[in-house]
Amino acid sequence: MRAVVQRVSRAEVWENGVILGRIGRGFVVLLAVGKDDEESDLDYVFNKVVNVRIFEDELGKMNQSLVEVGGQLLVVSQFTLYGDCRKGRRPSFMDAAPPDKAEAFYERFIERAKQTGIVVSSGRFQSMMDVHLVNSGPVTILLDSKKSF
């Protein structure tokens, strides 16, 4: 499982001119599921997202997590994080999970976040969306449950 985590001051996701989700201070998480992912991959990425300490404390050090600052999540499915551009000019998506598996993992990620009390918004799986965000910092973190980067 892969995720791009962007610390934001605000963000929203749109589909066909309609807002699907909107958050204030928190993270935009672009989430992709790999074809070989298991529940442990979901656990790894989820725990990193909610516990990574990239919000400033009172001394200005990145030392607080999303949970500690009461941040919000905007989760958007993005299978293109598995795009492999090493050969040719067109990316291969062979390592991305099939849609049924990817959607199930995506929905479980969102449900787990809601169960922790985090305010969660999301996009629509397999939909063409526009994501508008203000990256705070900017701070962007790449996560990969297979630790390939």
pLDDT by residue (tens digit) across 88-111? 999 999 999 999 999 999 999 999
Q: Report pTM.
A: 0.95
Confidence band of 5 (pLDDT split at 50, 70, 90)? very high
Q: What is the total residue count of the chain?
A: 149
Which residues have a catalytic role annotated?
78-80
pLDDT tens per residue across span 42-66: 999 999 999 999 999 999 999 999 9
Task: Specify the pLDDT at position 62.
Answer: 97
pLDDT tens per residue across span 26-35: 999 999 999 9
Angle between helix 39-51 and 99-115 (nearest 10):
40
Average confidence score pLDDT of the chain: 97
Neighbours of 86 (CB within 10 A): 6
CATH topology of domain 2-144: D-tyrosyl-trna(Tyr) Deacylase; Chain: A; (3.50.80)
Task: Specify the pLDDT at position 95.
Answer: 97
DSSP codes, 9-33? EEEEEEETTEEEEEESSEEEEEEE-
User: What is the arithmetic mean of pLDDT over 15-27?
Assistant: 97
Confidence band of 148 (pLDDT split at 50, 70, 90)? confident
50 closest CA partner among 103, 108, 116: 116
Number of H helices, E strands in the chain: 3, 8
Task: Give the domain ranges of the chain.
Answer: 2-144
